[in-house]
Chain A
Amino acid sequence: MSETNSPTDLRYSTDHEWVRIEEGADGPVLRIGITDYAQDALGDVVFVELPAVGSTITSGDSVGEVESTKSVSDIYAPVTGRVVEVNEALADEPSAINSDPYGGGWLCVVADFDPTAVEALMDAAAYTSLIAE
Chain B
Amino acid sequence: MCSLTHGCVMPADPTIPLLDVSDLCVSFPAGGRMVPIVEHVSFTLPEAGILGLVGESGSGKSVTAMAIMGLIDTPGVRVSGSVRFRGRELVGLPPRQIRRLRGRDIAMIFQDPMTAFTPVYTIGWQIDEQIRAHERISRTQARARTVRILGEMGVPDPERMARRYPHQLSGGLRQRAMIAMALSCNPTLLIADEPTTALDVTVQAQILDLIRSLRGTYGSSVLLITHDMGVVAQTCDSTLVLYSGRVAETGPSDRVFSHPGHPYTAALLDSIPPLYGPRPDRLPAIAGAPPVPMARPPGCAFGPRCAHVHAACTTTPPALLPLGPDHEAACVLPAEGTPLPPRTAADWPIDTIGDACP
Q: Is chain B found bound to chain A in the same assembly?
A: no
Which residue numbers of B lie inside 8 Å of A, CB to CB? none
Which residue numbers of A lie inside 8 Å of B, CB to CB? none
